[in-house]
Structure 1
Amino acid sequence: MKSKIRAAAVAFGVFAVGYYLYYGLTNRPDEVTGSMLGWVGPQMALPIIAATLVPMAFAFTGDGILAAFTGRNSSEFRNAEVGIGTITAFRQTGVSVNDQPQVRIEFRVEGGDGKVFDSHAKMIVPLTELALLQPGVVLPVRYLPGRTDKVEVDRSGDTGVAQRAMNESLIRKGITTRGKLDIAERGLAAQAVVRRLDVPGRIRGGYTEVVLGLVVTRPDGTTFETSAEKYLPPTAVGLVQVGRIVGVHYLPGNEQEVVIALPVNA
């Protein structure tokens, strides 16, 4: 889409200037008007329009700007692979649309095959959401395996695709298992109170292992005690302090296997 719009704009610009030059060079002046009307007249409208239209076409098809208007990824990235992008830095580019700034975001991306690469994306971000862009925040991104210098933040709205990419990443790092993911998907949702918090000291992929003693409340109001191990990013450890209420999932036939549910960017 972007390349087609730009090509059409350039073609119109070439046509407008070419027609203006052709008209001026082939015009036959008469004794009354002279040669000036070959260059000054209605024929000037086309190059003037082109001088306005071509820059606008390139500006509004810039990275992240077209997506801001359509709410979708560009055609190039719409069906691209989904990876997990961790923000390492960001800055405003100086461009804005409707007073909303364009931001260049630097990512450390883990692809679906487990390979990690550095990349960047440009997108229009509402002023009210700028504070959410912090180093360490994880976002699903679309990338082209053959060209990883640029990515786009996933705008498909398909949370299932993003969740699967995140799950595969966590499994590769040893932070979770397919069995625990199955419990999270099929198990009963409940709430639990943290009664004990132990930190054995093991770290995997920047995540810290914690062992929690929990009192889980069943849907009927009765309770049971169990323990759960989980690897957490440092920013999420505060969410499992003693006395906190956390969401959990468990299978009724195996109450000792409990999976804790926490936000990805906790």
Structure 2
Amino acid sequence: MSDALLGAIAVVSAIALASIIVAAGLAGQPPRSRPPRSTRCPRSIGVGTVQMVAGADDPVIVVEVESVAGQRFTGRLCHGHDDPVVSALRPGVIVLVSFDPASRKQLSLADDAIAVRAAADHSLLRQGVLTHDQLDLIRFGTRSCSVVTGMRATGRDREDYREVQLDLMVTRPGGGQFPAQEVTLVPEAALAKVSPGSIIDTYYLPEDESAIAVCLPPA
């Protein structure tokens, strides 16, 4: 995998793990019911190297892309006529692009948090670090905090993550507490952040306190 792609993945991973497991940008909003999950494939992220810029008024910009999954292909950057960012592109320039996996020839600059977050979400789901239910709770649930009252390793792991069972006392934002238990994957370097006595961000639905999702900052 190229150094450019590794650098871009590091950026995406930092965004993802800073919320751990993702999407903290929607935290703190009033709770709402979870909508049906979309069946649309989220936009993917890749590192592109500009190969050609042809034309003056409406330039054709050809980009060679390496996706986070390791696929290589060539696409054309879709852009606005007066986009100052695009006007600065030259052959050899490296850019972060987003694309629809079903139509990879049409590229966009991945300069918005939504596209990057969607790619990070999809990557963590694919790796098994997150479940769809956990992601839904983080996106649409109520953000609170909890105190870790117990932590046990299950003995399972996935790459640099260790699976642990957490006993928690969750604080309700409106007052009161409730006990909860969660089995989750934690970066090995962040295990100290879930030791008994630690305070961690927690998401849940007020109408269903039986399911929670926890979030950790990066190690």
Q: Using structure 2 for the length normalisation, give the TM-score.
A: 0.54
Aligned position for 1:185: 139
**Equivalent position SS for 2:213:** strand
Specify the code of the residue in structure 2 equivalent to 1:189.
R
d(CA) in 1 for partners of 2:4, 2:65: 13
User: Would the aligned equivalents of 1:171 and 1:178 in 2 still touch at CA under 8 Å?
Assistant: yes
Q: Give CA deviations for 1:155-188 in whole Å, capped at 9, x if unaligned.
A: 9552222221111111111111111111111101
Number of equivalences: 135
Aligned position for 2:10: 138
Identify the structure with bigger relative contact order (alpha carbons < 8 Å, sequence gap 6+).
2
Q: What is the CA distance between 1:212 and its match in structure 2?
A: 0.6
User: Would the aligned equivalents of 1:201 and 1:209 in 2 still touch at CA under 8 Å?
Assistant: yes
Q: Using structure 1 for the length normalisation, give the TM-score.
A: 0.45
d(CA) in 2 for partners of 1:258, 1:230: 10
Aligned position for 1:221: 175
CA RMSD of aligned residues (A): 2.8
Specify the code of the residue in structure 2 equivalent to 1:143.
V
1:120 aligns with 2:17: no
Specify the code of the residue in structure 2 equivalent to 1:166.
A
Q: Give CA deviations for 1:22-41 in whole Å, capped at 9, x if unaligned.
A: xxxxxxxxxxxxxxxxxxxx
User: Would the aligned equivalents of 1:210 and 1:230 in 2 still touch at CA under 8 Å?
Assistant: yes
d(CA) in 2 for partners of 1:167, 1:233: 16
**Which is further off, 153-162 or 251-260?**
153-162
Calculate percent identity across the aligned residue pairs. Answer: 30
Aligned position for 2:184: 230
**Equivalent position SS for 2:196:** coil
Higher strand share: 2
Q: How does 1:1-266 map to 2 (within 5 A)?
A: 118-121=1-4, 138-140=10-12, 142-144=46-48, 146-148=64-66, 152=95, 158-263=112-217, 265-266=218-219
**Equivalent position SS for 2:3:** strand
Higher helix share: 1
Larger Rg computed on CA atoms: 1
User: Would the aligned equivalents of 1:250 and 1:258 in 2 still touch at CA under 8 Å?
Assistant: yes
Q: Give CA deviations for 1:62-103 in whole Å, capped at 9, x if unaligned.
A: xxxxxxxxxxxxxxxxxxxxxxxxxxxxxxxxxxxxxxxxxx
User: Would the aligned equivalents of 1:195 and 1:243 in 2 still touch at CA under 8 Å?
Assistant: yes
**Equivalent position SS for 2:4:** strand
User: Would the aligned equivalents of 1:211 and 1:230 in 2 still touch at CA under 8 Å?
Assistant: yes
d(CA) in 1 for partners of 2:147, 2:173: 14
